[in-house]
Amino acid sequence: MTPKTKSPKRNSRPKFQYDAIVIGTGPGGEGVAMQLSKSGQNVAVIERHSMVGGGCTHWGTIPSKALRHSISRLIEFNNTPLFNDGENTQHLNFEQILSHASNVIRKQVKLRRSFYERNRVQVHHGEASFIDQHTIQIRRPDDSVDHITAKHIVIATGSRPYTPPDVDFDHPRIYNSDSILSLNHDPRNIIIYGAGVIGSEYASIFRGLGVKVDLVNMRERLLSFLDAEYSDALSYHLWNMGVVIRHDEQYESIQGTDDGVILNLHSGKKMKADCLLFANGRTGNTDMLNLESIGLQTDSRGQLNVDRNYKTEVENVYAVGDVIGYPSLASAAYNQGRFAAEAMLSGNCNSSLVEDIPTGIYTIPEISSVGKTEQELTAAKIPYEVGRAQFKHLAKAQIANNLVGGLKILFHRETKEILGIHCFGERASEIIHIGQAIMQQKGEANNIEYFVNTTFNYPTMAEAYRVAAINGLNRLFT
């Protein structure tokens, strides 16, 4: 008698509710979710707040840049004789310009929400934490708890301002870069502790409102990662606006009073102001995720290590955006999300961030750069030359009365390959992309002579590239 053989079990693999769960709806989370959904995957996203968009939309990039734009236009109005004879100077307070930022945020939330709806991505609102490497607990605003499962999980929870325990951020006059958006009084003076990108941007914003600003920098020079010439230009411009910059200082204590804040520095200096903005770095939003349950650890700033596929040490768990550190840019986070999705779909990511990532610093005026600085090229002993254009000589800048700043192109003396581009002035973050596009070309296509031989619209700010290229090439023959 032939023994019966057991038929193989069907559906022996574990069945998950979703192909992927994405924690966070900022640029990184959105990039993952959209890419996976368009590839036919069943995707859920979890957002701890009542609206999608993440910190970028609600507390970071969008509101601060909207504030900066309003202030820049106010300054332009007050400095334009056509509109202002010097006796009708307009003044706005922080609350008034926040209304414009709030309107932009509402539009962005509506747009981003439509992306999830149109692509059939399920949005869960609540606090996410790991149960195991495939299971996420969601604690909803009404304190009810749900569990959902997925084959892949992506951590895209972003970051928040670093808040040391010895600073009382519950005091009504001590703010971080998130809570400053709730400022509801009109300060006469403000101390900004931390002169990085965020601190420098807010120094411009508050000084543009006519507030006295003390900017405390922990380093010897402002934004030391920038090309030194343009770092110095920003320092001078802030000084010229009336910002007091105190370099190489550290706080000893920060004391809130009934009507303001007192900052005590290690150097013995004591400063007092109506309020203080603490803008000294950020930390990853990972402490609430129960990462220890899946064996993941973060560094001291709450950041995770990932490989080139954006995979963590746990096989099915990925991370993108601010939680993995550099470059901590919204635009880069979105691409990281797309690349992580590619790795989940095919097992390997064949794409990567561009080597030369542009930086945009939205001070007044802006600074933007891509590629190497003069200091880096000098240290590497690369024979380079410099081409410069000053905006005050351009017809478009004269028409718009935006005469501050200029463009600098660094290129190889022998091959004429473009090595770096640095821009300081109004619309710098837009202008930089023209040069970036040429730098990304391969071989002989990346050549400063392109800017001489092409034809630009006239008058435009883009014409600065032709002026700078001619200026630089002329140096080769002198």
Query: In the predicted model, is pLDDT for residue 7 greater than 70?
Result: no
CATH number at residue 423: 3.30.390.30
Q: Do 319 and 336 fall within a single domain?
A: yes
> What is the rounded average pLDDT of the residues 18-46?
97
Q: Do 155 and 182 fall within a single domain?
A: no
Q: Do 376 and 461 fall within a single domain?
A: yes
Q: Do 330 and 379 fall within a single domain?
A: no
Q: Do the domain assignments include residue 374?
A: yes
What's the total number of domains in the chain? 3
Q: Do 189 and 271 fall within a single domain?
A: yes
Q: pLDDT tens digits, residue range 248-283?
A: 999 999 999 999 999 999 999 999 999 999 999 999
Complete DSSP assignment for 146-183: EEEEEEEEEE---EEE---TTS-TTSTTEEETTGGGG-
What pLDDT score does 120 carry?
Answer: 96
Q: Do the domain assignments include residue 9?
A: no
Domain of 416 in residue numbering reads as 365-475
% pLDDT > 70, the chain: 96
Q: Do the domain assignments include residue 353?
A: no
Confidence of residue 2 (pLDDT cuts 50, 70, 90): very low
Q: Do 187 and 308 fall within a single domain?
A: no
Q: Do 147 and 22 fall within a single domain?
A: yes
Q: Do 223 and 246 fall within a single domain?
A: yes
What pLDDT score does 9 carry?
Answer: 47
- Degrees (nearest 5) of the Cα angle 419, 425, 429? 60
- pTM, entire model: 0.91
Confidence of residue 320 (pLDDT cuts 50, 70, 90): very high
Q: How far apart are the C-alpha atoms of 430 and 468, rounded to whole Å?
A: 17
Q: Do the domain assignments include residue 359?
A: no
Q: Do 233 and 320 fall within a single domain?
A: no
Q: Do the domain assignments include residue 167?
A: no
CATH number at residue 188: 3.50.50.60
Query: In the predicted model, is pLDDT for residue 351 greater than 90?
Result: no
Q: Do the domain assignments include residue 13?
A: no
Q: Do the domain assignments include residue 77?
A: yes
Q: Do 331 and 398 fall within a single domain?
A: no
The bridge status of strand 212-216 relative to strand 317-319 is: unpaired
User: Within 13 A of 447's CA, how many CA atoms are on the CB side?
Assistant: 10
Q: Do the domain assignments include residue 380?
A: yes
Q: pLDDT tens digits, residue range 387-434?
A: 999 999 999 999 988 899 999 999 999 999 999 999 999 999 999 999
Residue of 190, 195, 193, 185 whose CA lies nearest to 166: 193
